[in-house]
Structure 1
Amino acid sequence: MTPSNRPSCKINLICGTLGAGKTTLLRHLLKQKPSDETWAIIVNEFGAIGLDGAILSSQNSASVHEIPGGCICCSAMPELQETLDTLLREYRFDRILIEPTGLSEPETLVDLLRNLKQELGAQKSVFLENIICVFAANELDPQLWQTKLSYRNLSHMADIVLLNKSDLCSDEHLKSLTDYASGLYPPKQAVVLTQQSEVDAALLKPTAKAEGLYFLNDPQTAKTTSPKQKSLHQPRRIVHESMPDHPLLLDYQQQQSRATLSYGWLFSPEAEFDWQKLHTLFEDFNNEPSVSELRRMKGVFRVGKPWMLFQWRQKQLSRELISYRKDSRIEILIAAQQTDKPFNPSDFYRGLINCLKTQDG
């Protein structure tokens, strides 16, 4: 069976905090299901008696499968694996939506889906599309978002962030949330303000932009963003410059605004980096005159089974494990002004390549 005629199934994770509106979001999405597609929903509830499955089943527009009595990220993971295996091998669903409990750790689900995709091999093409995370905007503030680990993990993992219950918030509060969201890394495809979790089902599918790099707004030059605006990452002038070919490099972009140069590299999720070599590479920022105008560096890298987030700002380097799983990527912001020793992206790229683990390492 060739890849072109192999049965395919798209999967979305609908994550979020308890009571934020995940089930309501699923109900809106089901109303928009194309008539020529078959969908399945896997609903996980921590309690022994599930209610969300009954609510969703009442719409009669999808095959609903409940996994109550534990979190599918840990104690109920065997049930999830068995359910997914059955749905993918024995049925021909066009799309499967998975709603884990609000207590979940979504990165373990992505790891499970990746392994399951490899096990299925030639039998079926499985595509993990957008991960949507729902927060209750009226229960969230930037400080809580930044300090609560579970909230950070959810937003790191998400492709789309929904700030639901926006009608219960002031414009000032919403602006504080969208301003914070504009600095999330990796950048989100969209941050959407919603009431009753009502969104367009097109958000299930990655945008063309999601296949490559997209950059954070430069905080020193970005204009004020309206709280109602969906996309928080507006493109700037792209400077086309090539990098030496490497099988694991998916994309390179250089963008320029009036005061800032942005350099970005995107690597395949198969690329594995040595975190200690990365740490040494980034520490050298403090010793290199060529990056004296460096404003900020953010990067997420696969360093084995986990991914790690590195951040450099004002000569301070930090690192932490991150729930992101899609690829490895890095963005560097440098002041766009003439210096005696300007930043050389090709030299830095060679440094990144030297941090890759070897096949036998």
Structure 2
Amino acid sequence: MTRVNLLTGFLGSGKTTTLLHLLANKPENENWAVLVNEFGEIGIDGALLANRGATLKEIPGGCMCCVNGLPMQVGLNMLLKQNKPDRLLIEPTGLGHPRQLLSMLSAEVYQPWLQLNATITLLDARQLGDARVVANENFRDQLVAADIIVGNKSDRWHESDRLALQRWQEQFLQGRPFVTTQFGQISLSLLDTPRGSPRPIPQPEHHHHAPAPASGIAALRLEGQSRWRRALNEGQGYAACGWIFDSETVFDTIPLLEWARLAPVDRVKGVLRIADGTVSINRQGEDLHIETYASAPVDSRVEMIHSQSSNWNELQSALLKCRLR
């Protein structure tokens, strides 16, 4: 049977970083697969997680639990049939609701094939001080559905964050395991924790915000001779704008990083080609993390998410000025 874990957490809680840590420590004799979903259609996580020793399937363009879970079922069935993984890690979008996804994974049709283990939910204690995040139904219900809660990014917490976390634990933890870490560095042993007793999870109020991509499970690609293109997405109180550039486009590193750092948006993620290879950008609020690699990416991708629609044309104009060629 394929051992399955759901890895959830609100926007910017560190899900992809945690996945990268887990994949870096994967036992060599095991066949792993990752099913990842993103709010936008660009497919940043797919670029970040590619060539990490696991089979990867992407479901871009919104919540994988919506539209009766059809894109999710297609991606899941393909992985099980073609790859027969020993372990499957599923990362829904930070704006995704866990109820329908957990219901699907525990359905009778999958019981001969899947062993559904603990749902692991990441929580940045600073989120508890953001009224907009705390009021979000997906944030609340992700924590309700969790079997294990990981307090991530503890190196960035202030005393007020720790006090807010303590108050939250006293009211909502309800005896569940709580692990504190940073940079998503959790033990692989957590993945084999059995699923806890199912807790009542509220029915999500949101509806799918856009039609599923035509392919159902494919990230955005360039068409014909296009050098770049843009994709917009809205729903659940958030808006996303992403760009994809061809493999020949090279960005000037310093102006690009300044563009990402100063953009008036909540979230920036990207994997882009620079003169020295590749830079990955991950910004949540004022937290900016960058990494560089010597190898060049297949193409360049960057996406922004904000709690309201932004002036995407202005941000796009500034981004295009960051190109060397």
* Higher RCO (CA 8 Å, separation ≥ 6 residues): 2
The alpha-carbon distance between structure 1 residues 120 and 130, as it changes in their structure 2 partners (threshold 3 A), is: closer
1:136 aligns to 2:136 (yes or no): no
Per the TM alignment, residue 186 of structure 1 is displaced from its structure 2 partner at its CA by 4.9
Deviations 1:41-84 (A, max 9, x none): 0111121110101111132x100111112210114821110111
Per the TM alignment, residue 129 of structure 1 is displaced from its structure 2 partner at its CA by 0.6
CA RMSD of aligned residues (A): 2.6
2:276 alignment counterpart = none
- Equivalent pair of 2:128/2:134 in contact (CA under 8 Å): no
1:113 aligns to 2:110 (yes or no): no
Equivalent of residue 127 in structure 1, options 115, 135, 142 = 115
| Count of aligned positions | 204
Equivalent of residue 16 in structure 2, options 20, 23, 35 = 23
- Equivalent pair of 2:128/2:161 in contact (CA under 8 Å): no
Q: Distance in 2 between matches of 1:68 and 1:82?
A: 13
Q: Which has the larger radius of gyration?
A: 1
- Equivalent pair of 2:3/2:116 in contact (CA under 8 Å): yes
1:234 alignment counterpart = none
Q: Counterpart of 2:119 in 1: which secondary structure?
A: strand
Deviations 1:221-253 (A, max 9, x none): xxxxxxxxxxxxxxxxxxxxxxxxxxxxxxxxx
1:181 alignment counterpart = 169
TM-score, length of structure 1 as denominator length: 0.51
Q: Which runs of 5+ in 2 are unaligned?
A: 205-325
- Equivalent pair of 1:156/1:322 in contact (CA under 8 Å): no
1:193 aligns to 2:180 (yes or no): yes
TM-score, length of structure 2 as denominator length: 0.57
1:88 alignment counterpart = 80
- Equivalent pair of 1:50/1:68 in contact (CA under 8 Å): yes
Runs of 4+ in 1 over 6 A off after TM superposition: 142-146
Equivalent of residue 10 in structure 1, options 3, 17, 23 = 3
User: What is the percentage of aligned positions where both structures have the same residue?
Assistant: 36
Deviations 1:171-195 (A, max 9, x none): 453143034224326532x212221
Deviations 1:301-342 (A, max 9, x none): xxxxxx37xxxxxxxxxxxx478xxxxxxxxxxxxxxxxxxx
1:54 aligns to 2:47 (yes or no): yes
Q: Distance in 1 between matches of 2:73 and 2:79?
A: 10
AA of the residue aligned to 1:131: T
Deviations 1:280-303 (A, max 9, x none): xxxxxxxxxxxxxxxxxxxx5xxx
AA of the residue aligned to 1:205: D
1:66 alignment counterpart = 58
Q: Distance in 1 between matches of 2:130 and 2:42?
A: 34
The alpha-carbon distance between structure 1 residues 24 and 69, as it changes in their structure 2 partners (threshold 3 A), is: same
